[in-house]
Amino acid sequence: MVQNSSFKNIFYQPLITDGVHHLDAEESRHCIKVLRRSNGDHVRITDGKGKFYTARITDASPTQCVFEIEEVIPVARDPYSIHIAIAPTKNAERIEWFVEKAVELGIDSITLVNCKNSERTYQKIERLHKVAVSAMKQSLKAFLPVINPLSELEAVIKNTTAQGRYIAYVDASNPDHLRSVAKRGQDYLVLIGPEGDFNDAELNLALNHGFAKVSLGPSRLRTETAGLAACHILNLLNN
């Protein structure tokens, strides 16, 4: 982002608006020990809620780096939002990869969903949150996406308020590509199923609640690849 052009690294302190003006132990170690910042140096910090802060280090402690805020830079949200509801993969590292890359591209919410053909019904949300924080910092973003714990697919389908509702379903007779049916400037929810895909009951439940069945292209994609493809398509549509 333009605001960050002079800063190659950003740090994360979600409690900065509550008056916490120091980095946690991990961030402090990286700032002071790895990047060798010292008293008087300026750093860029985000709260993950849409603001960047230019701050000056006043106590370069590698366990609790204290800073003084000099500038607050608010960042406007995009006029659209992307929510991907995705079934956890058998290999947990694949979902971690999806979270990392989706955050880099731009995503607002990720919900893990339990489906009839799900290969995994447990995922460490704390680990995914850590991956998301790292990706947010790497891509110099001001917003940290919400990562929701495992939810039943039915609840996600019935409780959404998104205008753009899509279910990615492997169907040779499905002619509608996501890029051709999605409208710009909406709140989107895209459902991505497990390797065994959604069953007929799940598909019909989604269709009965206003979801459109869409294709992500001619190739058969892995779950995490499909989620990333959907995220990328919607970002390209709006930028």
CB-based contact 114:153 (threshold 8 Å):
yes
Region(s) of the chain under CATH 3.40.1280.10? 81-238
203-208-211 Cα angle (round to 5): 70
Assigned CATH topology for domain 2-74: Ribosomal Protein L25; Chain P (2.40.240)
Cα dihedral 3, 230, 178, 160 sign? negative
| Range list for CATH 2.40.240.20 in the chain | 2-74
Element (H, E) at 105: helix 92-105
CA distances from 168 to 71, 84, 85, 211 (A): 43, 11, 11, 10
C-beta separation of 223 from 195 below 8 A: yes
CATH 3.40.1280.10 fits 81-238, yes or no: yes
pLDDT number for residue 125:
93
Give pLDDT tens digits for 102-138.
999 999 999 999 998 888 877 889 999 999 999 999 9
- The predicted structure's pLDDT at residue 172: 67
68: enclosing H helix or E strand: strand 66-74
To the nearest whole number, what is the mean pLDDT of the chain?
93
| pLDDT above 90 (res 174) | no
- What is the rounded average pLDDT of the residues 11-26? 96
pTM of the model as a whole: 0.92
